[in-house]
Structure 1
Amino acid sequence: METALADVIDNSITAKAKKINIDFSWNDGLPWLAIQDDGCGMSYETLLLAMKLGSFNPLDERKANDLGRFGLGLKTATFSQCRKLTVISKKQDTVHAMEWDLDSIKDNSEQGWRVSILEETDLELIKEIPNLITALNEQESGTIVLWRKLDRLDDFDSLKVREKKLNELIDHSRNHLELIFHRFLAAGPGKQSLKISINSDPLIARDPFNMSSNATIELPSQIIQVDSKKIQVQPYVLPHYTKVSAEEYEKYAGDGGYLHNQGFYVYRNKRLIIKSTWFRLMPKEELTKLIRVRIDIPNSLDHIWKIDVKKSNASPPEAVKRGLKQIISEVEYSGKRVFKQKGYKLESQILEPFWHRKISSGKVSYLINRQHPMIMSITNQLDTQSNTSLSAILKSIEASFPSDLYFNDFANSPESIDKPVVDEDELKGIISMFYPLFKAENLDKDKIISKLLQIEPMASNRKTTAKIIEQMELNYD
């Protein structure tokens, strides 16, 4: 359904609509759906041509802002969802209406495929959308596309289940349309944005590049020239999860997450055609998952991109692939650097880390810091045999570091990885190990706090640590 709705909306945008309303109703088991716009409308001849199957030659040159391709969109979109299509259009104060009814054609097969021309009296009999027809009459121009006899909801399900399925289809379609037409819904400063709503609820643009964030890296755009036509390539590196809120990071992950949604996003006249693919020019890797590249192509290059009938797939020619391969080799470095820099910074945040990162013969290992104050405070109290036992325990912990599990969790959702919570009583018990040692060194309160804040978990609980030391200082006095 989402692809079918997008096809009809393409026609409205080509007709220069500023507002598009999608209305639907379960209608007690006889559901209908209508798409109404305030575009330029159609004359009798234009509407008749629009109702014709395959009304345009895909090789014909189109206007630069035309989102169509084969002249099949309205009909194939409709018949993929329902068996009855009614189109009502107003242009120059005149309303024309025509209808395809597949059941009627089936029952009268000897008459062939004949479209029905509706008169004003026929429109009065359409009980589903009287308010939409009234609104159209009050507009200067516009079009209503009405779907009835929706037949993609399984007949064997109960009415309640079928109604739920319809609502789920609409919800999924909303998310799809907010992404496909996001550059129309949020046209930018100085430009008029398109308004699309579903049952009066406005759609909100879903920008896959998070361009509103200061943490998004916009790399230099490049041009690929083909047949004297320009293909514009604009790479972005989305923010690392430490640079944005958890909600924002999750929002821009998209269905399937960042790993799945990396890649090229191909737009034809600002309308998204295909997303999250590298066209087999490189694999989808963890270190490149924040890279998304916008490609803008004109409709005059449809033939070399092999745009399909549904306008949901495309394949670049070899000449374009060579240009893209050169571009992504440069972009790949920038995307990986975001993760590599983060790894370096995390290494030096705590002055007394529990873990050391060691590189030997190209191999990376993580070792427990034997000089950590908490470990030293225990080893200093143990005899030789006990220290040997403790060392063996620490080596066992190092050897069992869950690197595979950690990498898998970090790859799938790094924002979900968190440190165990230490409550105030547990923190007080840990601080109690150090406090007598620091007091024996005649350190004052501020120096004790400063030393403790170099060690986890005190470093992550600064206020609580200061509060506990205040209490200990009072008791000590």
Structure 2
Amino acid sequence: MVDSNALASHWREDVPVAGSSHLPPDVGYAKALTNQGYSFDVAVADLVDNSIDAGADLVAVHFLRSADRLHTLLVLDNGQGMNERDLDLAMTVGRRRDYGSSALGMYGTGLKAASLSHAGALTVISRTKSSRPAGRKLTSEGIEDNFRCDTVDKDFAQEQIDVYDGVIGFQGTIVRWDRVNAFETVAPGETDAFLAKATQSLERHLGLHLHRFLARGLKLDIVVTDVDTGEETQHDGVESLDPFGYKIPGRKGYPRELTAEVEGVGQVALEAHIWVAKSRLAGYAQIGSPIQRQGFYFYRNDRLVQAGGWNNLRTPESHLNLARIEVDLPAQANRVFSLDVKKEGVQVMPAFTFGVESACDAEGRTFRHYLADAEAAYRDGNSRQVVERPAIVAPGKGFDPKVKRSVREQLAVKAAEDPIRIEWTALPEDRFFELDREHNAIHLNKAFREDFNGGRRGGANDAPVTKTLLYLLLQDCFGLGRWEKKRADRIDYWNAILLSAVLAQRERLERSTS
């Protein structure tokens, strides 16, 4: 046991040292670098953070595919770009650069760790207004070879900048992942299904964690392009997904600002919100389970870094599903709040929870009053009857993101069914549309595409009104077992009538322009 006399005589506040030596990382560090638990969505979000820090107001997450497989992921931006020296510094493993007080980056490992957690090769190509395109490439094998970084061929760098000139313009950066782990596990024939789920999840994650930037005008797109044809097969603009985006609060007088006195930090503002019970709005219903999303929402420099959770203050309970608290972390580093390297969770010291428990607003209403109000709103809401709407198969590829979000706000969707995609394709001239029930697809006759796009070819999510009306008519034809003759006949006469309508529209357009 402890010798109390010796402890009292020899204990010191700090451990003394007698010298030092420099111990560079072993190449085995590469395994730790590439195994930090980044999810796919979190890793991509880290790359978008870098784009925002570079001053970009246009960012595109770009999937490259062919008919039966996925090849590459790119994140493109029109930020300030990097010259050769900047690229070397950015690709140096373990280097931590100086971050401004408003930067989203913190530790200097995100680009490498997030990328190499999911890809065997990371390439960065960039140019500034005063420098030519240049690039660097890191591979998992190169890191194990004494942290080797390869220089990208200058002609190839220029070619890539030219290809994506529509995003990059005079300056900007391309981050490219090759040999992506998830892509290499997608079996032939499953590419569409994988992309539907991956892009939907990514859109939701980026829309939530970057919602303040998106609301202020950041343009962030998710694009899929076929490398064989050059055709853009999907183009979705990420919309702000505000976890406090209700129109009417669930309790009169909210939101309320409570102030917590936190030892070591000072005053911390808590913006206490109460949602309406059973809300179908995207900010409540489409960001995950309500029981997981109750609690604290921590922001660092306007970037959401924790979306729900009580941080050991209490355990989640269904009667607090409507309670969400907005907290902007103090700008100065301190020992009370600690952000993890992936920027998806905050560790807090007991000083914070003690401060929250005694927090109150200007009227003297306490944190306990707030919890009681949230519980009352939940009970009152559950006592009201709500008309149950039937669950449907969700819209997917080919539908505008606003349409997809609105459907999910208004109706429950069948989680076990793949979303319905809608696409223009070659069909017989006597058909306006056809159903592919086996693959959950609606095919539109591409001979009529320009008629719905003002004489232009249109994009991946074009003709939103026509597509949405067809979806509402046809969605109950999917997710069925037996195909009834009566339903098949209905599809036939709808098709004939709609074909007559589109031909009449074409004739009117021709007469008006002749």
How big is the shift at 1:69? Answer: 1.4
Q: Within the alignment, does 1:118 sit opposite 2:155 as a pair?
A: no
Match of 2:119 in 1: 82
Match of 2:182 in 1: 152
Match of 1:135 in 2: 166
Write the distance in 1 (CA, Å) between the matches of 2:85 and 2:124.
Answer: 13
Q: Within the alignment, does 1:197 sit opposite 2:237 as a pair?
A: no
Write the distance in 2 (CA, Å) between the matches of 1:300 and 1:320.
Answer: 15
**Match of 1:184, SS?**
helix
- Kept in 1: contact 2:255–2:273 (CA 8 A): yes
- Kept in 2: contact 1:89–1:96 (CA 8 A): yes
Aligned residue-pair number: 327
Match of 1:260 in 2: 292
Distance 1:162 1:201, change over 3 A: closer
Match of 1:43 in 2: 83
How big is the shift at 1:256? Answer: 4.3
- Kept in 1: contact 2:208–2:287 (CA 8 A): no
Write the distance in 2 (CA, Å) between the matches of 1:25 and 1:71.
Answer: 28
Q: Within the alignment, does 1:183 sit opposite 2:202 as a pair?
A: no
Distance 1:54 1:167, change over 3 A: farther
Instruction: Say which structure is richer in helix.
Output: 1
How big is the shift at 1:22? Answer: 1.1
Map 1:163-312 → 2, pairs under 5 A: 164-187=193-216, 193-199=217-223, 200-213=235-248, 217-222=254-259, 224=261, 227=264, 231-241=268-278, 247-248=280-281, 252-301=284-333, 304-312=336-344
Match of 1:12 in 2: 51
Map 1:257-406 → 2, pairs under 5 A: 257-301=289-333, 304-327=336-359, 328-339=367-378
Match of 1:427 in 2: none
Paired letter, 1:148: D
Paired letter, 1:316: V
**Match of 2:358, SS?**
helix
Per-residue CA deviations over 1:5-31 (Å, capped at 9, x if unaligned) read: 110011111112111111112235351
- Kept in 2: contact 1:105–1:112 (CA 8 A): yes
Greater gyration radius: 1
Write the distance in 1 (CA, Å) between the matches of 2:257 and 2:181.
Answer: 48
- Kept in 2: contact 1:224–1:233 (CA 8 A): no
Paired letter, 1:204: E
Q: Which runs of 5+ in 1 are unaligned?
A: 188-192, 347-414, 417-477
Match of 1:69 in 2: 106
Write the distance in 2 (CA, Å) between the matches of 1:43 and 1:229.
Answer: 42
Distance 1:185 1:240, change over 3 A: same
Per-residue CA deviations over 1:63-110 (Å, capped at 9, x if unaligned) read: 22111111111111111111121111121232343232426638xx6x
Write the distance in 1 (CA, Å) between the matches of 2:334 and 2:189.
Answer: 43
Match of 1:360 in 2: none
- Kept in 2: contact 1:18–1:195 (CA 8 A): yes
**Match of 1:301, SS?**
coil
Write the distance in 2 (CA, Å) between the matches of 1:342 and 1:298.
Answer: 35
Distance 1:54 1:96, change over 3 A: farther
Distance 1:320 1:85, change over 3 A: same
- Kept in 2: contact 1:253–1:261 (CA 8 A): no
Distance 1:56 1:251, change over 3 A: closer
**Match of 1:92, SS?**
coil
Write the distance in 2 (CA, Å) between the matches of 1:226 and 1:87.
Answer: 43
Distance 1:74 1:343, change over 3 A: closer
Root mean square deviation of aligned Cα: 3.0
Map 1:25-44 → 2, pairs under 5 A: 25-28=64-67, 29-44=69-84
Write the distance in 1 (CA, Å) between the matches of 2:383 and 2:327.
Answer: 33
- Kept in 1: contact 2:262–2:354 (CA 8 A): no
Moved more, 202-211 or 332-341: 332-341
Distance 1:299 1:147, change over 3 A: farther
Per-residue CA deviations over 1:217-274 (Å, capped at 9, x if unaligned) read: 3112425456456643211011134xx6xx43x7623454323321111111111111
Distance 1:310 1:144, change over 3 A: same
Per-residue CA deviations over 1:182-233 (Å, capped at 9, x if unaligned) read: 111113xxxxx21111114211111112244365631124254564566432
Paired letter, 1:79: L
Paired letter, 1:39: G
Write the distance in 2 (CA, Å) between the matches of 1:275 and 1:69.
Answer: 19
Paired letter, 1:50: A
Distance 1:306 1:220, change over 3 A: closer
Paired letter, 2:148: R
Match of 2:507 in 1: none
- Kept in 2: contact 1:179–1:208 (CA 8 A): yes
Write the distance in 2 (CA, Å) between the matches of 1:118 and 1:19.
Answer: 24
- Kept in 1: contact 2:118–2:182 (CA 8 A): yes
Identity of aligned residues (%): 26
**Match of 1:198, SS?**
strand
How big is the shift at 1:175? Answer: 0.8
- Kept in 2: contact 1:182–1:205 (CA 8 A): yes
Write the distance in 1 (CA, Å) between the matches of 2:100 and 2:277.
Answer: 41
Q: What TM-score, normalized by structure 2, do the two folds share?
A: 0.58
**Match of 1:306, SS?**
strand
